[in-house]
Amino acid sequence: MIKTLLHPLKMSKLHYSKSEGPEGRKTKETKMELSITKPDDWHLHLRDGDLLEAVVSHSAKHFGRGIVMPNLRPPITTTASAIVYREAILKALPPSSDFTPLMTLYLTDSTSSDEIKLARKSGVVFGVKLYPAGATTNSQDGVKDLFGKCLPVLEEMVQQNMPLLVHGEVTDAEIDIFDREKVFIDRVLRPLTQKLPNLKVVMEHVTTMDAVRFVESCKEGFVAATVTPQHLLLNRNSLFQGGLQPHNYCLPILKRETHRQAIVTAVTSGSKRFFLGTDSAPHERRRKECPCGCAGIYNAPVALSLYAKVFEEAGALDKLEAFTSFNGPDFYGLPRNTSKIKLTKTPWKVPESFSFSFGDIIPMFAGETLQWLPSV
């Protein structure tokens, strides 16, 4: 619900703060508030060990559930290891947290159909992640033979109604890094959805107008996409303005402004095919600011504020709740959350860094002032 003078029929109350107007007069200044169903994060990296303990509270503060990526070392390839990882996440949560991790398996050429059956029966695994080998962080064990060795597994996933979560990039060295998503759609994803039309597919962290058009062309309810704050707000210039910007480096890499605009248009249109997935990916500062820096943007503390910014600038705040809180669970066949979260239009400054015993983590938009402040 939006609380503002622009929507008087939806207001329950307005909050005012007094400020000095012209000639020293006191004026009433409207504070806009959004009260929305608590969102979920449908693409989240929590890592493990000290890093897990450091970052999990940031996601748990603003999100009810999170689809947790399995690209650890070693990767989460079995239901048994997913259960162990889930217990580690629950143990690292703040005592009062009700955050629920939704686990995933890492697909390999040796994954079995029986493992998919076990995953469904477990009640804790909600997707299987496809990483083309070498596509991103810890993806060296990824798939090399999708239409051969993996085909029986994909067919079993159809039977078990288990979604395939896709990192949509080819890894051929001769393909330009800015074209890898488009080529993946043409070579892999379109043939896959034609071969298995009843396989539920999430194209993760889409970055191009090509991906938007592909998702929109597919049968609704079977192909959807997650969208990150960085791909809604940044383009590839953000990697180089004022010098090399390692904390804006992620995979899939940022694209041209025309692609960013296409994603914003799709997301703010009210389409049910797109939903929130932060791809929040923490790395210690020294692993980002080095000769061969890691890919990944840490956005968990600021994601909701940034999504609200995007929807406000598009004049689509009335569509924010569906994107953050409804489209994801509806696609996965899960109940929507019942609790609420509030976003208040009040300026707040993003910390320059988060410091821990092992080092610092730099958040997205570090040191900048944002306009929407989330609170439970």
Give me 333's structure tokens: 């066949």
| Rounded distance between C-alpha atoms, residue 147 and residue 144, angstroms | 9
Q: Is 58 a catalytic residue?
A: no
From 38, 259, 279, 309, the catalytic residue: 279
Decide: helix, strand or coil at residue 102.
Answer: strand
246 touches 299 (CB < 8 A): no
From 3, 38, 43, 182, the catalytic residue: 43
From 167, 200, 247, 255, the catalytic residue: 167
Pairing of strands 2-3, 26-31: unpaired
14 touches 345 (CB < 8 A): no
From 45, 231, 255, 309, the catalytic residue: 45
| Rounded distance between C-alpha atoms, residue 374 and residue 109, angstroms | 42
Q: Is 18 a catalytic residue?
A: no
Q: Is 231 a catalytic residue?
A: no
Chain-centroid distance of CA 255 in Å reads: 17
Q: Is 43 a catalytic residue?
A: yes
229 touches 300 (CB < 8 A): no
| Rounded distance between C-alpha atoms, residue 300 and residue 41, angstroms | 9
| Rounded distance between C-alpha atoms, residue 38 and residue 58, angstroms | 14
From 129, 259, 283, 288, the catalytic residue: 129
Q: Is 129 a catalytic residue?
A: yes
Integer-rounded Cα Rg, in Å, for the chain is 21
Q: Is 279 a catalytic residue?
A: yes
| Rounded distance between C-alpha atoms, residue 176 and residue 190, angstroms | 20
Q: Give the torsion sign (CA, 208, 279, 113, 142).
A: positive
* Closest by CA position to 323, among listed 310, 342, 340: 310
236 touches 253 (CB < 8 A): yes
From 38, 182, 205, 259, the catalytic residue: 205
Look-up: residue for tokens 């488009």? 182
DSSP 8-class letter at 336: P
Give me 161's structure tokens: 């109604």
| Rounded distance between C-alpha atoms, residue 36 and residue 13, angstroms | 15
In order, the DSSP letters of 248-311 are G--SSPP--HHHHHHHHHHHTTT-TTEEE---B----HHHHSSTTPPP--B-TTTHHHHHHHHH
Query: Which residue numbers are catalytic?
Result: 43, 45, 129, 167, 205, 279
